[in-house]
Structure 1
Amino acid sequence: MGDISSSNGNGNGNGFYGNGHVAGEGRRKSCWYEEEIEENLRWCFALNSILHTGATQYQDIALLDTKPFGKALVIDGKLQSAEIDEFVYHESLVHPALLHHPNAKTIFIMGGGEGSTAREILRHKTIEKVIMCDIDEEVVDFCKSYLVVNREAFCDSRLQLIINDARAELENREDYFDVIIGDLADPIEGGPCYQLYTKSFYESTVKPRLNEGGIFVTQAGPAGIFSHTEVFSCIYNTLRQVFKYVVPYSAHIPSYADTWGWVMASDSPFTMDAEEFDSRIKRRIKGENRYLDGKTFASASILSKIVRKSLAMETQVYTEGTAKFIYGHGAAHKSHP
């Protein structure tokens, strides 16, 4: 994450900077957050205030009060979620897998320290146990303190929070899960979790911990017309090597300034139509989804021609030795799993 600077003009890299604007005869100063999406493209928005910044053992963290998107959580210089549109991301990550499963009762979340994924899972009436395993206790404690919207989820008796590396936790457990969800940070070079996108991890750790008919779903990075070749197509192709049925889907996330991708995988086919999708929402989920219903998911899983072509032609498999990363860099000088 970039430094906080009080100087006028643009800051370098990801971070915050002050910028003076002439308003009539006076001079109005605004504080801005800037994220370098790629080498020649930056995304910035105005801040009301910087609520918190810090560094944990694994990553840099900030909570910003932004003018366009409300409170926003930023980790390693990458915006993770924003108050105004996080529901799009978390409904898309959680509900397709849980609704396609005939009777999901036990869920394992890899990452998810923010608590929003657990919140959406716990809306399902069938759920009996949710294990949320995040490696960074400081981030989890931070989110518990600052993200009021998820406090009820953190207090739910069905949720068990474990601080550990998700790979180690899954390898050492003897129980099985109906759905495993990858709510991990993006794979960035020097980041704490790119190994959790590899074929060996999916094959030897994730799949063996699924019950029969179980479903795995992961966030899979940017999925826009140009950005989908960073990691989305590779993650999709990697999961195709491990599971019989793989469904990529995407949605536009305004605060990410891009379309985002997820990939759902299972050895059981995904055959549910939009009508049954909506029927299961009504029977199973407490409250009303703001974003996702049957038609929305049907649309989300029909990708554009250029993206479909890339996914069909993708040959790279994600391994420790051939890892792909989105633009950016984690805290490589710090220890990671």
Structure 2
Amino acid sequence: MYLVEHSGDLFISAEKPFRIKNDMWLLLGVTVLLLGAMIFTVLRLVQQSEEHVDSVKSIKIKVDRANLRPDEGEGDIALKKIIDEDPYRTELQFQHWDLTKDNMKTIGKLETLTQLSLSDCTFKDSWLRYITHLPLTSLDLAGTVVTDDGLKYVAKIKTLTKLEIYDTGVSGRAFEILKPLSSSLTHLSINASSLSDADLEQLANFSNLTHLNMKGTSISESGFESIAKLPNLEEIDFGRTKITKTGLEKLSALPRLNELRLKGCSVDDEMASALLKFPGLRRIELNDNNVSDKTLDGLSKMESLQSLGVRDNQMISDAGVARFRKAKPGCSLISGTKDRRDAL
């Protein structure tokens, strides 16, 4: 009830109290809506925060300690720790280290070491003299600054059977310098900047080689003749090497050759036809070349073939691949082009 004075008289009116009551309900409704919106916003923010935390937790950061370049002094500490942990270790691997003279001396104290990798490390040739007494069977110097002067020390490690010296500063004289190891080496990886026919004649002395990697090397037909004199060769990698059909045919005389890698060698169908003369090839890599279905049809007739790689040969069709697989169901075929893979 609400009293209203009008022209000196009093009378009772219920209109204004009802209006106030309606306003209160309206205000309450707005308040509830605002509160609900605030609660929804807070809950959404909490959810997003939890999702962000979960995504951060799911991220795995991989740190390859071997790729770190320790400062001078840190390398000595790291090597000392390695020796303290296992003074009789047989394997040791470094990568991208700026090795010091003391580092090399410390490595030389590991008298049971048989496998050593210093790939992409920097050091002086003369420091290799500190490891010549080790019973190493495997030495990886790929990507280092080693030159012919350093190889003179390597040649003194008479126990070596595996040596990797590709992408280094060695020259074609490497075969002559390494001649003291000609009877012990079975695995050799090299791509000297300049290899003459005379240099490759020295390679013929390494008669016990079973694995030869000469990727990115310039080899003449006469050079292929020298390689063909290695009777125990089982695997050859000529990736990115300029070769000819005649040169390939010379290698068919190798009695034990079972794997031949010719990635990026500009091999065409005519050149690839020489592969049919290899009696024992089980694995052939022809990735990134210029062969077509004609080569696939020909190689499908090779009884010994167990694995064939023909990726990134634009002239090979799906139909050619299907024919090959039907003709040789037991042979592993790796095919396709970059464009097709990107389209998947």
Q: TM-score range by the shorter chain?
A: under 0.3
Greater C-alpha radius of gyration: 2
TM-score normalised by the chain length of structure 2: 0.25
Q: Name the structure with the higher helix share.
A: 2
TM-score normalised by the chain length of structure 1: 0.26
Q: Which has the higher contact order (CA 8 A, sep 6+)?
A: 1
Q: Name the structure with the higher strand share.
A: 1
